[in-house]
Structure 1
Amino acid sequence: MTDSPISTQLHHDILVVTSNNPPVNALGLAVRQGLVAAIAEAEANDAVKAVVITCVGQTFFAGADVSEFGTPKAFEQMLPTVVDIIEGCSKPVVSAIHGTALGGGLEVALASHYRVAVPTAKFGVPEVKLGILPGAGGTQRLPRVAGVPLALEMATTGKMISAKEASAAGLIDRIIEGDLLQHAVAFAEEVKDIRPLPISSAKQDKVSSVDPSVFDDFRKANARKFKGFDAPEANIQCIEAATKLPYAEGVNVERTKFMELMSGIQAKAQQYFFFAERKASKIDGIADDVKPRAINKVGVLGAGTMGGGIAMNFLSAGIPVTIVEMAQEALDRGTGVIRKNYEASAAKGRFTTEQVEGAMGLLSPTLDFGALADCDLVIEAVYENMDVKKEIFTKLDATVKQGAILASNTSYLNIDEIAAVTSRPQDVVGLHFFSPANVMKLLEVVRGAKTADDVLVTAMQLAKRIKKVAVVAGVCYGFIGNRMLIPRHREAEKLLLEGATPAQIDKVHVDFGMPMGPFQMGDLAGVDIGWHRDPTRIETLRDALCAIDRWGQKKGAGFYDYDDKRRPTPSPVVQQIIEDFSAKKGIERREISDEEIVQRTLYTMVNEGAKILEEGMAQRASDIDVVWIYGYGWPVYRGGPMFWADTEGLQKIVDGLKAQEARMGSDFSFSQLLLDKAAKGEKFTR
């Protein structure tokens, strides 16, 4: 077949069907058409006794071509028809798998009569992460072949399994050591005369005797994880149908659920985010030929919670780290925490003992500031104070070799002001890691006015190397994420004085899909963060709480009271403090609606995001959404604050803000970009 990503070649009496559709052999229209033509060729040629489907490049079919979603191509030679044709072939079809068989790729493999794979192959149905389900018979064939418990786990979480796990479950028939194609052809020779053919859709032994309680038990066990999401429940219902209905009827349930999900807002949000995450790595205004600097050794200044977490990212990626502290006790405590974190991960099976020792072997703890001299990148992770930062960067400038990148982990402070104390502002960049830094995926890369292009390119490429999702931010107070927190916190505290309670405000945010509300978050992080430390100076609610040692969970009391298991309950003490503040300020308390809380805490965030775009502090609206989903737990099924605003309707956001404008006072001002887009009926995102 010419001009097709699918080619065929006869090896004796075995027809080898090869896909060459880089980079991941996505199942686009031309591939689907090619597979159908190849099966027709096998059927028409009496010399063909069996078929082997294989892929060149780095992987087996890694899923659907997501770029076809919503286009006419998606409705031509649809994958459900293709896999039925493969399964209906009168000659044995063997899928030979390397890399990953994901989504539609696994559905092709399931429709094949046999599956062989290399030991490193992985298998999964990640459609749930796009707000949908495997819609080419995957929810019906997978439980029939691999069993209901594994099918539930894979379909509702998107989790991949290894070749060893797949083999144990009966998902693959043989693990191939050595040349995959050669052995797959040999396997096809073994099975070419076996009849009847093993048809996945006809298997009943793994679905016919399932206890119906398994589904409700699974729902209960995962209720917290699945809360708010539509797709996991739809996947469960389809797999449940596989245990109760004949295949043909189960497929109809799958098709109905698939179409419901595809037309829903959650699938649109999750698919939008899929592309948003990939777009975030692209840097505006930089030539494609800019080369990154070599980073072979990293220095971290500060061995506290943040510095230690930052160091772990590089150690895990095999990059040597020199970590510097001022006192031996702090250094020992910091390196001890790093080891403890690694050992905890090893206990959960995420690292081997050898990997832990390998990472720790790359760590050089020292009190000698001069040990940073030969590092290619130094990241400062000390106290959030501009004078302290300037002092450190002056010292780094005098100590660290020329050509090295000097980075600050500041959460709020002006990178340009920090860079100005050095003789090389072009080498200075912000690298804002999120806590815990060894866990959180987000990295805000702050581009200073004089940051060199190759420094920015290096930072973005290094982020990928340490498995972070990086977003470029401009220099402004709080950058992207923390800047948008400011109006939310400001309005939340005002709402307390006007009549709301911490529990009511937090519940609105949790019901919206956030992992926690602003006051729960404050108690977790520490109410005392940024406090002036003078218990006699009480100007805000936070001052009043800190003055009586209500610093949050670490003290067992903050906006909430906590028991010995850190479970919160509303605090009468805090309620009295709030009411006293209201009286002192002459604020008449009233009933606050949930709608007002949404308008004043979430709509104001959208408005601030629009200002960030207006000022060029974010490259694109989708970058803001990536920051909020990966950095703050905004529910991915709402697509991020800017996508959510578009789905709500920008005029609705403006009207809501106008209704609250008087109550928000002089602290609030409209983004002109938001007003303009609302007036024109435009959106922030595409």
Structure 2
Amino acid sequence: MPVTYERLEEAALVTFDNPPLNVFGQEMRAGLQAAIARAREERPARLILTGAGRAFVAGADAKEFDGPPLAPHLNDVLAELVALPFPILAAISGPALGGGLEIALACRYRIASPGATLGQPEVTLGLVPGAGATQRLPRLVGMAAAVDLIGQGGAIPAAKALAFGLVDELADDPLAAALAVPAEVLRRAIAADHRPAPAPDEAAVTAAHAQANRRAPGQEAPHLAIDLTASAATEPMETALLRERATFIARRQSDQARALRHVFFAERAAPARGRAYPAPVKLQAVLVVGGGTMGAGIAYALLLAGLTVHVIETDAAGVTRAEANLDKLITQGIERGSITDPAFRTRLTLGAGYTDLPQADLAIEAAFESLEVKQAIFAALQAALPPETILATNTSYLDVNLLAQGITDPGRFIGLHFFAPAHIMKLLEIVQGAKTSDAAMGMAFALAKRLGKIPVVAGVCDGFIGNRILARYRKACDLVMLESSCPKGIDAALRGFGMAMGPYEAQDLSGLDIAYANRKRQGRSGRYVTIADTLVEDMKRLGRKTNAGWYDYVDGKPVESDAVTHVIYRAADEAGINRTTLPAEDIADRALLAMIMEAILILQEGIAARPSDIDLVMVHGYGFPRWRGGLMHHADVITPPALLARLETLALEDPLSWAVPDLLRRLVGEARPFNSLN
């Protein structure tokens, strides 16, 4: 049974037992309601709620949110719990999240283990709390702490919860402590429902809205949840609880909630593919070749994960530069509090060359994006390391199969495409070459798990999944720029859609020379716009690092460049183009259609296994708005028939830039969405 009821002398114990995390669904709610009814009849001296295993309750069953609400509803069950005429206690071990925390908030007394975490993450799924948190939490912890916790959708450790007044005490054995709480203490404890309304705090509410705008731009749920929480100071609790529930029900089927649920489940499904590839050995030591910005970020991420790391550079000067890069990251980590291990630095060594290398389970190359440079590195690594060491390249574009040609056993070779900054970005593209072994795949998935990254498997092509889509995106935006708009207008249109950055401000940040080098390597194809080449070749505008790229930079701030505008208009004149004005919505639509077209081709070719993999790559690697569910989820919102019609029109107008993938025609013919391929 997922919910059990038992008598412990004068006390009664209700245990939630739905492994692994006691996620609360309809059966669990019915079980709790039945336990409440039994307790109402037996009238124990105290009723204790606890969770079996490693959680109290880690939240509601999000799978239920795609259908109609199923009775009994948690808010109604908790109303019955609050009405019981004897003390109710929560004994919390592990996570108490979402509905789990709402259960605890309805109790009179809460005891948590030191390792417990408590939070209301509903807004991260496009929802608001629906079973009393917006009213009970501020009555316990005050308005400032409540709007912050609910508005951000975060979780806090037990010690902080104790300081806030969210829990009443900490204990290594919360159940034993709940049984031992003196009856006099319980008589003095006041349930949240019977406490006075919290004092208004307009400054805290305003700050919470501002924080939500920064952390979750474009998302509706955080602001709704903050306003509901603020209402605890001004509305009767009964009225506010009804409005909270109505808002929760309305949000379940909203576009943003559907999109955020899609990403949530895709993130949890991504590591599951690794079950087919057990790691050959326990990952303990890693070599990183290259201590530049990317290599240092990778090495630092490995150190944070508790691994032993040796960084290889070409000479003593390179070692000095690499050490400076790592020291800067380590200093920042200590200042932020993310490094507390006094032995952290002792797990890092650096050296020049490939002689006398330490033992390693994995070697990651993070050098300059040159086929010849990387092949030379792997020749040296192969000669210096035992045959069981997995060899990996961090290339962003180059052919992994070509890089593997010089390896005696190409099965040990794999692509591990980190995203910058490597110690922050959560995405890891695992590039599976034609001969990559199961052992190498297992090592890659083990690494992703150890680093807390989201693994997405990609096949071999130029740019893999993300950078291939990015290249198409940039080409489409360049055409829009040539025919109608300017960098500022295009950037604003894509930010308006929800992208973290526009394409041109992003290029200025990374450097125009990087994209330029890739274009030269790839050669010209389709309708080729030369504006970016002119900026690099003739004007030496490389972006922020030269204070001039697509924008001029004055005191570090971008301003439109008359010189760039002149190049754009001259290129349009030379191409015989009569520039027109395109609305922001049409600019974003054109760019998104280009990305979707390329993504469909990637699926069609088997470079990505499923649409949700593409969604994860775009959300976690390229700033695609999470609340839109990723690129392919957004394609389903547009609908395949509408995409087909739009792409057919564009392909007729400009067959060099647009095409209709066969996969899209097939899905339309079968009346299937992209999600059916997941």
Matched, 1:57 2:57: no
d(CA) in 1 for partners of 2:671, 2:372: 46
Give the match for residue 391 of structure 1: 376
1:198 aligned residue (190, 201, 204): 190
Give the match for residue 482 of structure 1: 467
Contact 1:491 1:664 in 2 (8 A): no
Matched, 1:455 2:440: yes
d(CA) in 1 for partners of 2:330, 2:73: 46
Matched, 1:136 2:121: no
d(CA) in 1 for partners of 2:166, 2:53: 23
Q: Which amino acid aligns with 1:183?
A: A
Matched, 1:651 2:644: no
Give secondary structure in 2 for the equivalent of 1:393: helix
Q: Could you tell me how far 1:267 is from its partner in structure 2?
A: 0.2
Structure-2 change in CA distance of 1:289 and 1:382 (3 Å): closer
User: Which aligned pairs between 1:405-420 and structure 2 lie closer than 5 A?
Assistant: 405-420=390-405
Give the match for residue 557 of structure 1: 548
Q: Which amino acid aligns with 2:447?
A: L
Give the match for residue 294 of structure 1: 282
Structure 1 residues 54-100: Cα deviation after superposition (integer angstroms, max 9, x where no partner): 1121111111122322346x512111112112211111001011111
Structure 1 residues 282-308: Cα deviation after superposition (integer angstroms, max 9, x where no partner): 33xx88484543322100000000111
Q: Could you tell me how far 1:7 is from its partner in structure 2?
A: 2.1
Structure-2 change in CA distance of 1:344 and 1:658 (3 Å): same
- Bigger mean CA offset, 286-295 vs 75-84: 286-295
Q: Could you tell me how far 1:458 is from its partner in structure 2?
A: 2.1
Give the match for residue 121 of structure 2: 126
d(CA) in 1 for partners of 2:64, 2:517: 55
User: Which aligned pairs between 1:284-323 and structure 2 lie closer than 5 A?
Assistant: 288=276, 290-323=278-311
Contact 1:440 1:630 in 2 (8 A): yes
Give the match for residue 237 of structure 1: 227
Structure-2 change in CA distance of 1:498 and 1:539 (3 Å): closer
d(CA) in 1 for partners of 2:324, 2:489: 40
Give the match for residue 28 of structure 2: 31
Q: Where does structure 2 lack aligned partners over 5 or more consecutive residues?
A: none
Structure 1 residues 385-429: Cα deviation after superposition (integer angstroms, max 9, x where no partner): 112222222222222111110000000111111111111111111
d(CA) in 1 for partners of 2:405, 2:208: 57
Contact 1:426 1:450 in 2 (8 A): yes
TM-score normalized with structure 2 length = 0.95
Structure 1 residues 640-665: Cα deviation after superposition (integer angstroms, max 9, x where no partner): 00000101112222222233335544
1:359 aligned residue (344, 347, 370): 344
1:575 aligned residue (545, 558, 565): 565
Contact 1:373 1:401 in 2 (8 A): no
Structure 1 residues 37-60: Cα deviation after superposition (integer angstroms, max 9, x where no partner): 2222222124x2001111121111
Structure-2 change in CA distance of 1:81 and 1:425 (3 Å): same
Structure 1 residues 438-489: Cα deviation after superposition (integer angstroms, max 9, x where no partner): 1100000001111111221221122011111110001111110001011111
User: Which aligned pairs between 1:492-531 and structure 2 lie closer than 5 A?
Assistant: 492-531=477-516
- Bigger mean CA offset, 100-109 vs 252-261: 252-261
d(CA) in 2 for partners of 1:532, 1:182: 65
Contact 2:472 2:598 in 1 (8 A): yes
Give secondary structure in 2 for the equivalent of 1:375: coil
TM-score normalized with structure 1 length = 0.93
Structure 1 residues 345-393: Cα deviation after superposition (integer angstroms, max 9, x where no partner): 32223333xx2x4222111100031344621100011111112222222
Q: Which amino acid aligns with 2:539?
A: I
d(CA) in 2 for partners of 1:214, 1:623: 39
d(CA) in 1 for partners of 2:267, 2:156: 24
d(CA) in 1 for partners of 2:168, 2:194: 17
d(CA) in 2 for partners of 1:558, 1:288: 46
Structure-2 change in CA distance of 1:478 and 1:424 (3 Å): same
Give secondary structure in 1 for the equivalent of 2:674: coil
Give the match for residue 348 of structure 1: 336
User: Which aligned pairs between 1:613-652 and structure 2 lie closer than 5 A?
Assistant: 613-652=603-642
Q: Which amino acid aligns with 1:673?
A: L
Give the match for residue 609 of structure 1: 599
d(CA) in 1 for partners of 2:19, 2:572: 64
Contact 1:51 1:188 in 2 (8 A): no
Q: Could you tell me how far 1:201 is from its partner in structure 2?
A: 2.1
Q: Which amino acid aligns with 1:66?
A: A
Give the match for residue 441 of structure 1: 426
Structure 1 residues 583-634: Cα deviation after superposition (integer angstroms, max 9, x where no partner): 2233222222334423331111111111111111111100100000000111
Contact 2:94 2:117 in 1 (8 A): yes
Contact 1:339 1:360 in 2 (8 A): no
Give the match for residue 578 of structure 2: 588
Matched, 1:266 2:256: yes
Structure-2 change in CA distance of 1:436 and 1:523 (3 Å): same
Q: Which amino acid aligns with 1:390?
A: Q
Give secondary structure in 1 for the equivalent of 2:565: helix
Matched, 1:333 2:321: yes
Contact 1:202 1:247 in 2 (8 A): no
Q: Could you tell me how far 1:156 is from its partner in structure 2?
A: 1.4
- Bigger mean CA offset, 583-592 vs 358-367: 583-592
Q: Could you tell me how far 1:249 is from its partner in structure 2?
A: 0.2
Q: Could you tell me how far 1:157 is from its partner in structure 2?
A: 1.1
Matched, 1:164 2:159: yes
1:472 aligned residue (432, 441, 457): 457
Give secondary structure in 2 for the equivalent of 1:682: coil
d(CA) in 2 for partners of 1:126, 1:306: 32
Structure 1 residues 223-265: Cα deviation after superposition (integer angstroms, max 9, x where no partner): 3334210101110121122121111100111112112211210
Matched, 1:180 2:170: no
- Bigger mean CA offset, 646-655 vs 512-521: 646-655
d(CA) in 1 for partners of 2:51, 2:37: 19
Q: Could you tell me how far 1:180 is from its partner in structure 2?
A: 2.3
d(CA) in 2 for partners of 1:291, 1:217: 46
Q: Could you tell me how far 1:106 is from its partner in structure 2?
A: 0.3
1:70 aligned residue (66, 74, 84): 66
d(CA) in 2 for partners of 1:482, 1:265: 27
Structure-2 change in CA distance of 1:263 and 1:532 (3 Å): closer
Contact 2:310 2:358 in 1 (8 A): no
Contact 1:372 1:378 in 2 (8 A): no
2:97 aligned residue (81, 102, 118): 102
User: How many residues are matched?
Assistant: 668
Structure 1 residues 136-192: Cα deviation after superposition (integer angstroms, max 9, x where no partner): 11111111111111111111111111222211221111122x332211110164545
Structure-2 change in CA distance of 1:213 and 1:319 (3 Å): closer
d(CA) in 1 for partners of 2:146, 2:310: 45
Give the match for residue 141 of structure 2: 146
d(CA) in 2 for partners of 1:252, 1:532: 59
Structure-2 change in CA distance of 1:293 and 1:411 (3 Å): same
Q: Which amino acid aligns with 2:63?
A: S
Q: Could you tell me how far 1:328 is from its partner in structure 2?
A: 1.7
Structure-2 change in CA distance of 1:266 and 1:440 (3 Å): same
Identity within the alignment, %? 37
- Bigger mean CA offset, 407-416 vs 22-31: 22-31
Structure 1 residues 112-146: Cα deviation after superposition (integer angstroms, max 9, x where no partner): 11101122211100111111011011111111111
d(CA) in 2 for partners of 1:224, 1:497: 33
Structure-2 change in CA distance of 1:287 and 1:155 (3 Å): closer
Contact 2:648 2:659 in 1 (8 A): no
Give secondary structure in 2 for the equivalent of 1:443: strand
